Chain A
Amino acid sequence: QQQVKQSPQSLIVQKGGISIINCAYENTAFDYFPWYQQFPGKGPALLIAIRPDVSEKKEGRFTISFNKSAKQFSLHIMDSQPGDSATYFCAANFGNEKLTFGTGTRLTIIP
């Protein structure tokens, strides 16, 4: 199975709060898990990525948590800011296979 299931579809978080987006996969061959951020009218941009040999990766306010046994990974945005309002896509692949994308989460940060 090549699916990557992403939830929630949309998310509203207060400024300063923690935004959490979850993804689950079925293909145990996947070994690369990136997250993309897309602003309206723009192309997605790579935000942060993780490999399954680590359980967590942090870059600034963005953290990926990875649970290999549960086949799940999540994006945490700490101290969420209005500028973080965007659509976020998780993805996965292995080797030379093309990326399989989740369906996206529209994040809105409110004052």
Chain B
Amino acid sequence: DGGITQSPKYLFRKEGQNVTLSCEQNLNHDAMYWYRQDPGQGLRLIYYSQIVNDFQKGDIAEGYSVSREKKESFPLTVTSAQKNPTAFYLCASSIVGRSNYGYTFGSGTRLTVV
């Protein structure tokens, strides 16, 4: 089945640590996105990429970094510079060049600072 796989489902980070969240898709989608969701809140865009080896900052990119070395993969690193990283992180993908197609989301990674 085609879809987006996010791992791990739960992640615990110590103060000062960098952690990397995995996002893999087998939908052959060009674009991939990372969103942050806080309890009872909406979706805030962190980074997005429409093509391999290229990505753009979203609304809340500070303290995060990404890479897009392969079409299928778009890992997100939460760095120690992100002071309040506890949140639910969602990865999504979509087709580029075919408008009005919508996004497919993964099941999310819940990150907690301990």
Contacts and interface: CB of A to CB of B under 8 A. Distances in A.
Given A31-B99, A31-B100, A101 B43 contact: yes
Contacts of B97: 96
Q: How large is the interface on A (under 10, 10 to 19, 20 to 34, 35 or more residues)?
A: 20 to 34
Contacts of A49: 100, 102
A62 interface: no
A51 B100 contact: yes
19 contacts: A31-B99, A32-B100, A36-B105, A41-B107, A41-B108, A41-B110, A42-B107, A43-B105, A43-B107, A46-B103, A51-B100, A96-B50, A96-B96, A98-B48, A99-B103, A101-B43, A102-B42, A104-B41, A106-B40
Interface of B: 4, 6, 31, 33, 40-43, 45, 48, 50, 88, 90, 92, 94, 96-97, 99-100, 102-108, 110
